[in-house]
Amino acid sequence: MRLMLMTILAATLAGTTPLLAQACRPMEGSAVGVDTGMTDVLPQRCDEPGKCRIFAISGRPIGEPGDHVVAGTASSSGMVAVEAKKSGLQGYMTADGTWQIEPHFKRAGPYCSDRAAVQRVDGLWVYLDREGQEVSSPWDAAEAFTEGRGLVTSYKGGDKFLHGYIDTAGKVVIPVQFAGARLFSEGLAAVMVDGKWGYIDRNGKMAIAPRFAEAEAFRSGRAVVRVGAGWARNSGLIDATGKFIVEPKYEQIGRIGDRFWSASITDPTYRGSGEPLVLSRLVDAEGHMVSNQSYNAFGAPVDGLISVCRNNRCGFIDIHGKLAIPLKYKRADDFQEGLAAVTADGNRYGFVNRDGKLVLAQRYDSLGPHHEQFGAGPFVNGLAPAGCNGNWGFIDKDGAWAIPPIYPFAQSFENGFASVEIKTGTGHLRPDGSAIDFSPAEVDGITLPPRPCDAPLARTNPGSG
């Protein structure tokens, strides 16, 4: 089986500079998942299940054959959780392949606030410091630290679990008493009391009384809540005092960047047989409707523009809700590095600038290795993945093939390398087109015309290690 796998890994590799990580915070769309803020990545090839191999950007193998990185555990600690092939247990490794903390645990989470939650072989959870020493009592479950508080769980028999919080010294600072609990964000954490959700502060004081059927983490001073069960029109947006900024009369509210939210209902005029479309309005942090027009989808705000779609036509509005680029495309992706991928027919992509001018013609196709449809781009450090007659490479901002289209699929560069599909699975490239972890023999031999998809070739010798 061929797998396409990109694994998060903290980069402390010699010759590379790790990005500064944000503090850990609750992951969007997850009850207790955590976002470490770390985006550094290193290649990991998993051509077959159980046969992974981790590599440095230089191409040097890291660890032993079969070791694999535990996804989502990279952090600014410079360590990442790795599961050892030989034992099936997890520990922490630095990017040079050294075991910083030996693999003795059934499960290992990311380091946050210099603490990591791990499950011992006896099934109980503890927190480790950076030296691998236990700094807490054992618990039935434990989640990552956010804002200096670790969420812990105690099993009370039957189907009863109670939750509380400890500090980084392992001391219980908020008693284990809640039927449900979430991670802290912006000084507040959602907790369940008598079947309703409210919010406590870091000292355990109830800051917003329990009265919600569901409650999400605060972001940018606002939190999405529901006042009833299910997907009825019961979703609203509150501030840190519990006041409704957007009344709970929408089926769904989603965050759009750091300043906006989408407030959505199902299109009441829909009469089709498939999944009905939603009608969404853009709302600011004060609850004001930014867009007079309803849309079916919003992208992320980038450089003052937001991609929008309505009735299968897409374009861009500005942050004041004014139409900036007409809705004339079948798909319009978010801007990045001043350009956005667009397609009029859904098959051929080009790129527009912020003025709406088509600066790269719609000549790049979207066909993936298994006949999936993918969009071109986005640009990262001047390079964007793009397709041509079912093969993928990378174009520069002039539209030329900086890396020729000889791979069945390619993904955007991230922190110094990109994933490409090869005959044996997934390999990885550097920005100069050279291979990190595969040989030229693992690439299908393709004879290219002088101008693939009418775009010039800027390079002709990719794939060398």
Both 14 and 52 in one domain: the answer is yes
Checking if the pLDDT of 313 tops 50, the result is yes
Distance in angstroms (rounded) separating the CA atoms of residues 310 and 330: 10
Both 120 and 101 in one domain: the answer is no
Both 38 and 121 in one domain: the answer is no
Distance in angstroms (rounded) separating the CA atoms of residues 282 and 299: 11
Q: What is the pLDDT of residue 8?
A: 32
Q: What is the pLDDT of residue 41?
A: 58
From the list 144, 140, 156, 138, the residue with the least C-alpha distance to 115 is: 144
Tokens matching residue 410: 């390619």
List, as one string, the DSSP characters of 23-59: PPEEPTT-SS-EE-----EE-EEESSTT-EEEE-TTS
List Cβ neighbours of 305 (8 Å cut-off, separation of 6 or more): 316, 317, 318, 319, 324, 325, 335, 340, 354
Distance in angstroms (rounded) separating the CA atoms of residues 285 and 268: 26
Tokens matching residue 148: 């200096």
The residue-averaged pLDDT of 255-270 equals 91
> What rounded mean pLDDT belongs to the chain?
89
Both 118 and 107 in one domain: the answer is no
Q: What is the pLDDT of residue 46?
A: 87
Q: Which of 180, 196, 218 is the last residue of a domain?
A: 218
Q: How many CB atoms lie within 10 A of CB 21?
A: 19
Checking if the pLDDT of 68 tops 60, the result is yes
Q: What percent of the chain clears pLDDT 70, i.e. is strictly above it?
A: 93
Does some domain include residue 286?
Answer: no
Distance in angstroms (rounded) separating the CA atoms of residues 344 and 137: 59
Q: What is the pLDDT of residue 428?
A: 94
Interval 364-416: pLDDT, tens: 988 777 777 788 899 999 999 999 998 999 999 999 999 999 999 999 998 78
Q: What is the pLDDT of residue 460?
A: 55
Least confident of 6-15, 178-187, 318-327: 6-15
The helix, strand and coil proportions of the chain, stated in percent and rounded to the nearest 5, come to: 0, 45, 50
pLDDT band at 206 (very low <50, low <70, confident <90, very high): very high
Q: Which residue has the tokens 């000889």?
A: 406
pLDDT band at 50 (very low <50, low <70, confident <90, very high): confident
Q: What is the pLDDT of residue 329?
A: 97
Q: Which of 51, 79, 111 is the last residue of a domain?
A: 111
pLDDT band at 290 (very low <50, low <70, confident <90, very high): very high
Interval 7-41: pLDDT, tens: 333 333 333 333 333 479 998 877 778 988 875 55
Both 1 and 103 in one domain: the answer is yes
Q: What is the pLDDT of residue 131?
A: 96
pLDDT band at 112 (very low <50, low <70, confident <90, very high): very high
Does some domain include residue 285?
Answer: no
Number of helices (H) and strands (E) in the chain: give both, helices first. 0, 42
Looking at the structure of the chain, the number of domains it has is: 3
Conformation bin of residue 347: beta by default, left when phi > 0, alpha when psi is -120 to 50: alpha
Is residue 272 within 8 A of residue 280, CB to CB? The reply is no
Does some domain include residue 324?
Answer: no
Both 402 and 449 in one domain: the answer is yes
Does some domain include residue 66?
Answer: yes
Q: What is the pLDDT of residue 270?
A: 77
Q: Which residue segment(s) compose the domain that 143 sits in?
A: 113-218
Does some domain include residue 3?
Answer: yes
The residue-averaged pLDDT of 420-437 equals 94
The amino acid at 231: W
Q: What is the pLDDT of residue 11?
A: 33
CATH classification at residue 137: 2.40.128
The residue-averaged pLDDT of 350-376 equals 89
Give the predicted TM-score (pTM) of the model. Answer: 0.87
Tokens matching residue 409: 């699929």
